[in-house]
Amino acid sequence: MSDVYAEPTTGAAPTGPATLARYTTLCLGGPAGRLETASSAEEIVQKVREADARDEPILVLAGGSNVVIGDQGFPGTVVLLRSQGVQAIAEDGDAVTVRVEAGETWDDLVATTIERGWSGLECLSGVPGSAGATPIQNVGAYGQEVAETITAVQAYDRSHGEVVRIAAADCGFAYRGSIFKYSDRWVVLSVDFRLTRSPLSGPVRYAELARALGVEVGDRVPLADARATVLRLRAGKGMVLDADDPDTRSVGSFFTNPVLEREAYELLRERAADLGEPPSWPGAGDVVKISAAWLIDKAGFGKGHLGPEGVAISSKHTLALTNRSGTASTAALVALAREIRDGVHDRFGVTLHPEPVLINCVI
């Protein structure tokens, strides 16, 4: 069985009555065997149980901003999540715990938290997707990750046929990963976030964001200022959905930043000696995270690099692969991704790994 959870609805133009391309930000993907819509946690569980009873593979899809679906589509049941709701369920001093239904649009949630003076998600403004998708890959941007504020995830456990509450400590959060990301077992129903009542952001950790705000790393700024600046930075990279901008017909960052052991990092530095110091960040233990965008660019794949059928690297950011033509195939996007991955490995000896979930296609 296959049960993969992707992120929320995008406004992508339909390409046919049965194709999953209409539900993905890439506007790619073949037909679904069966398409079901669930507007509540109870309906999600019901639809999944019914598909399990039919012994069909399941794809749970809230909109497709972090998924690449093959041209053959998905042969089983696709459950579209459309559950909505944001509720404060607990308060403790300056902290408030908010329960968010899985189908809630993520950026709408961030905007709501800022309006209500709740700090903790502001640097994740503009991220396409649903609230229920964020724990799956531990969504992060501009110095924040959802793992920092999630206290629990409510999920349907297909192995035992019951709804369970999984504490954050048991979610296996890691860089762009969790126990949910490639699991057949769990279907996320809602997520609990613990936020702080404050008109100010958390400490600004990301140097680019600090520069754009005109503050020092570690400073706090008004929530609305943080959100506006993050949205502006993301828009400049084609990372905010815009029907008039073909660069946003993507899944955002296509490759994760490689995390290298110290020995591998030193070998990279040797191979890149003629290019200057690779941008890097120290990780836990003796590991170093490297900029995938820098590796791609320095391997000869610049902004706007064209692949077959009108797929291309974004004209704004080398880490995004786009279906610029709007008529390309998934096979064409996969071919471009392979070209980039192999070119980076040949030049630097570093293997890039895709960030989105791949359905019936292989990079």
Task: Check 253, 314, 324, 329 and give the catalytic one.
Answer: 253
Tell me, yes or no, if 355 is annotated catalytic. yes
Number of CB atoms found within 10 A of residue 186's CB: 24
Which helix (H) or strand (E) is 3 found in, with range?
strand 3-6
Residues 6+ positions from 249 with CB-CB distance below 8 Å: 12, 25, 26, 27, 322, 323, 324, 326
Strands 67-69 and 357-359, by their bridges, are parallel
Tell me, yes or no, if 176 is annotated catalytic. yes
Number of CB atoms found within 10 A of residue 308's CB: 14
Task: Report d(CA 204, CA 207) in Å as an integer.
Answer: 8
Strands 259-261 and 280-282, by their bridges, are unpaired
Query: Is residue 360 packed enough to be buried (19+ CB in 10 Å), middle (13-18) or exposed (0-12)?
Result: middle
Tell me, yes or no, if 122 is annotated catalytic. no
Short-list 185, 222, 214, 217, CA closest to 203:
217
**Encoding tokens for residue 176?**
């762009």
Residues 6+ positions from 219 with CB-CB distance below 8 Å: 203, 204, 210, 213
Task: Check 99, 176, 249, 341 and give the catalytic one.
Answer: 176
Tell me if residue 304 falls in helix, strand or coil. Answer: coil
Classify residue 244 by its DSSP letter: T
* Residue 114 Cα to chain centre, angstroms: 21
Catalytic residue numbers read 176, 253, 355
